[in-house]
Amino acid sequence: MVERRGAFERAAKLASTERREGEQDLVQRLADDFRQDPGAFDPRRLSYLSTLGWVDLLKTLEISPAGGKRPFLGGLADNPQSDQWPASGWASLRRPERSAWLAGVASGTGFGIVVLFFAFLVSLAFG
């Protein structure tokens, strides 16, 4: 189980890295398209960006907020997070793996009951 968890964590980290690299490529393409012709730029393409992608796009376009303040002031990142309620992330979706032994016993018992039931029906029909 430990090696499966390690493999999952490596795969998740790789997927996260690939997504981030892909988003950076998308940001660069969107910035280039916007610089070439702002009037023809389709804003619906921005829906593919995450919050970090938006920040990267603003940095790429060299757009800074007035007065040099942080972008998105007053957003979720500025609210203090309580240690009492940490973000759950994927923890709420985790489920323990079922026991292979218990699954084998349950399926064997179920199959045995089905065989006995059919044997009983056959004995009634011919007996």
DSSP per-residue codes, 20-61: HHHHHHHHHHHHHHHHH-GGG--GGGGGG--HHHHHHHHHHT
Q: Does residue 108 lie within any of the structural domains?
A: yes
State residue 88's pLDDT score.
61
Q: Tens-digit pLDDT profile for the chain (127 aa)?
A: 778 888 899 999 999 899 889 999 999 988 888 888 888 888 888 888 888 888 888 888 887 655 555 555 445 554 555 555 555 667 677 788 889 999 999 999 999 999 999 999 999 998 7
Q: Does residue 118 lie within any of the structural domains?
A: yes
Same domain, 1 and 63: yes
Q: Does residue 86 lie within any of the structural domains?
A: no
Same domain, 9 and 69: yes
Range of the domain at 114: 99-127
State residue 115's pLDDT score.
97
State residue 70's pLDDT score.
53
Distance of alpha carbon 56 from alpha carbon 90, whole angstroms:
26
Q: Does residue 50 lie within any of the structural domains?
A: yes
**Exposure of 23 by Cβ count < 10 A (0-12 exposed, 13-18 middle, 19+ buried)?**
middle
State residue 34's pLDDT score.
86
